[in-house]
């Protein structure tokens, strides 16, 4: 099939590429000419394992193309995806202006001659956005144009996006139109995954409800971790014990510094705003946010208690990305933590396997901070090591080397990556989350 993907951000680029990989012909459209130039040269604007190779092989095979022209995209694709940003507004509600603009642009490029088009919302949007997209296209398109609107939310995780896209847990298609639905089913035929067909509003809600539930699991285990700390219990064991119940599951029960990234913080805020706008305020999610925000403060207090003051202390910071396997630092708890320690006068030697460049460009870390690719090098003369991102490299670190290099071997593990007993045997004074000190 011919597919058009409007927006080459994280979701657009990765999902467009994976549609090409399974045999469809895909045109990716972006209004940013520099981005399209980069992609045409084979340069990938994001770090995502496996993506660069996949883009190259599909471009070489003639299945993946890039353009700045929406008109070209609308003529090309039987199915036209909208995958543009839906950023938060200051009150937490979603800014839908990019979606509205793309809907208008698509409408203006449609003609009765090019035939039926399916317009699919891939971006994370509030419930009832599909209705607005349909109204907008109808209003701006010439008479006689035929189209259907579909909601097809994306559930990929950064860092394993290619695998998530090629082998999804489920595919959700929200459609109120049989013709659009059968084209969508054909599009997803090459994928081996259960397909759930719903109405448009339910599909839109599934995305916000799923992300909110995952964030809820994280805040839940973080709250349990705090009870564990107060009672000398071990949150890792508690997570294992409750996770063995199939109804609960072990995934997303890793206690730590809380969730960050470009999705959860924004989507939880959005779902709260949506529920309030619908007259059904979702107080539980406010508590999820509160627990998440407090988690970093509690950790900072833990460091402060041991170090007494931050001023003039040299701290090695392992981790800048919001999680492992990505260079993304948006809403990263590691960055927030670094800012707070810098504000209190600490000097930081920071490392991250992929996110040093993005952290520097992000520009929020000012003051006494140096960056190094060499994780052990950051430890030389350090008063403390703070682990803020769950990279496997940090989990597998050489503990004796850590102890040898530091001025005082104090380790604050915000992701529970190290084994407390091993850390102690290596001579480290070790603090983590929800585990007996
Ligand atoms: C998340 C969802 O997992 C995807 O299904 C969804 O498609 C995506 O948002 C989106 O809406 O686009 P992502 O933001 O890439 O994906 O990252 P996650 O792997 O979900 O991690 C989010 C945050 O939670 C990270 O900061 C991570 O460190 C934290 N986390 C995760 C925990 O603190 N504990 C856990 O047990 C799991």
* Mutation to probe ligand 1, out of 83, 261, 266 (largest number of atoms < 8 A from CB): 261
**What pLDDT shows up at residue 115?**
94
pLDDT tier, 149 (very low <50, low <70, confident <90, very high otherwise):
very high
> Can you tell me the mean pLDDT for 33-48?
92
Q: Which atom of ligand 1 is nearest to the CA of 156?
A: 7
Does 296 sit in the ligand 1 pocket, CB within 6 Å? no
Does 188 sit in the ligand 1 pocket, CB within 6 Å? no
Residue ranges of the domains in the chain? Answer: 2-198, 208-287, 296-431
- Examine the pLDDT at 436 and tell me if it is beyond 80: no
**What pLDDT shows up at residue 187?**
98
> Can you tell me the mean pLDDT for 77-98?
96
Indicate the DSSP class of residue 142: P
Domain 208-287 CATH assignment equals 1.10.357.10? no
> Can you tell me the mean pLDDT for 138-146?
96
**pLDDT, the chain, mean:** 96
Residue-wise pLDDT tens digits, 318-334: 999 999 999 999 999 99
- Examine the pLDDT at 217 and tell me if it is beyond 70: yes
Asked if residue 82 lies in contact with residue 123, where contact means CB atoms within 8 angstroms, the answer is yes
Q: Hey, how many other C-beta atoms are within 10 angstroms of the C-beta on 155?
A: 17
Does 298 sit in the ligand 1 pocket, CB within 6 Å? no
**What pLDDT shows up at residue 366?**
87
The whole-angstrom separation of Cα 65 and Cα 58 is 9
Closest of 80, 105, 72 to residue 4, by C-alpha: 80
CATH number of 2-198: 3.40.50.720
Six-digit token pair at 421? 């007993």
The CA 219 to ligand 1 mean position distance, Å, reads: 12
* Mutation to probe ligand 1, out of 7, 159, 214 (largest number of atoms < 8 A from CB): 214
**What pLDDT shows up at residue 437?**
62
**What pLDDT shows up at residue 300?**
97
> Can you tell me the mean pLDDT for 266-279?
96
State ipTM.
0.97
- Residues with catalytic function: 263
**What pLDDT shows up at residue 308?**
94
Helix axes 200-231, 264-277, angle to 10 degrees: 120
Q: Which atom of ligand 1 is nearest to the CA of 267?
A: 11
The whole-angstrom separation of Cα 77 and Cα 67 is 13
**What pLDDT shows up at residue 191?**
96
Residues 6+ apart with CB under 8 A from 151: 120, 121, 125, 129, 130, 172, 173, 174, 175, 200, 203, 204
**What pLDDT shows up at residue 364?**
87
> Can you tell me the mean pLDDT for 22-45?
95
pTM, two decimals, is 0.95
Closest of 260, 256, 228 to residue 328, by C-alpha: 260
**What pLDDT shows up at residue 11?**
95
The CA 270 to ligand 1 mean position distance, Å, reads: 16
Residue-wise pLDDT tens digits, 406-427: 999 999 999 999 999 999 999 9
> Can you tell me the mean pLDDT for 23-45?
95
In angstroms, the Cα distances linking 323 to 108, 251, 387, 435 are: 40, 15, 12, 21
The whole-angstrom separation of Cα 11 and Cα 133 is 19
Superfamily covering domain 296-431:
NAD(P)-binding Rossmann-like Domain (3.40.50.720)
Same fold across 2-198 and 296-431: yes
């Amino acid at each position: 099939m011919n597919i058009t993907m409007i927006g080459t951000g994280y979701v657009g680029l990765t999902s467009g590429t994976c549609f090409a990989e399974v045999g469809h012909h895909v045109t990716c459209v972006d209004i940013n000419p520099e981005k399209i130039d980069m992609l045409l040269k084979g340069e990938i604007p994001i770090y995502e394992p496996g993506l660069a190779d996949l883009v190259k092989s599909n471009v070489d095979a003639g299945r993946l193309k890039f353009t700045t022209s929406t008109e070209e995209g609308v003529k090309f694709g039987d199915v036209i995806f909208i995958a543009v940003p839906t950023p938060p507004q200051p009150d937490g509600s979603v800014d839908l202006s990019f979606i509205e603009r793309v809907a208008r642009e698509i409408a203006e490029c449609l003609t009765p001659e090019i035939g039926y088009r399916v317009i699919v919302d891939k971006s994370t949007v509030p419930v009832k956005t599909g209705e607005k997209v349909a109204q907008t296209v109808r209003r701006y398109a010439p008479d006689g144009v035929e189209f259907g609107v579909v909601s097809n939310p994306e559930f990929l995780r950064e860092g394993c996006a290619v695998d998530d896209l090629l082998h999804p847990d489920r595919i959700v298609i929200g459609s109120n139109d049989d013709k659009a639905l059968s084209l969508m089913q054909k599009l997803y035929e090459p994928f081996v995954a259960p397909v759930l067909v719903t109405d448009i509003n339910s599909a839109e809600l599934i995305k916000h409800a799923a992300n909110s539930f995952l964030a809820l699991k994280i805040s839940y285990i973080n709250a349990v971790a705090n009870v564990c700390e107060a009672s000398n219990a071990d949150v890792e064991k508690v997570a294992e014990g409750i996770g063995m119940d199939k109804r609960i599951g072990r995934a997303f029960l890793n206690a730590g510094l809380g969730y960050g990234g470009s999705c959860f913080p924004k989507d939880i805020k959005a779902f709260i705003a949506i529920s309030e706008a619908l007259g059904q305020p979702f107080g539980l999610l406010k508590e999820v946010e509160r627990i998440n925000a407090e988690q970093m403060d509690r950790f900072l207090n833990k460091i402060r208690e041991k170090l007494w003051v931050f001023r003039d202390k040299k701290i090695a910071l392992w981790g800048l990305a919001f999680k492992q396997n990505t260079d993304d630092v948006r809403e990263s708890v590691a960055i927030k933590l670094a800012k707070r320690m810098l504000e209190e006068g600490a000097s930081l030697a920071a490392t991250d396997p992929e996110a040093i460049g993005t952290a520097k460009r992000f520009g929020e870390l000012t003051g006494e901070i140096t960056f190094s690719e060499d994780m052990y090098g950051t430890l030389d003369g350090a008063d403390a090591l703070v682990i803020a991102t769950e990279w496997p490299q940090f989990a597998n670190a050489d503990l004796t080397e850590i102890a040898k290099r530091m001025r005082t071997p104090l380790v604050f593990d915000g992701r529970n990556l190290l084994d407390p007993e091993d850390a102690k045997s290596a001579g480290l004074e070790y603090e983590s989350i929800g585990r007996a000190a």
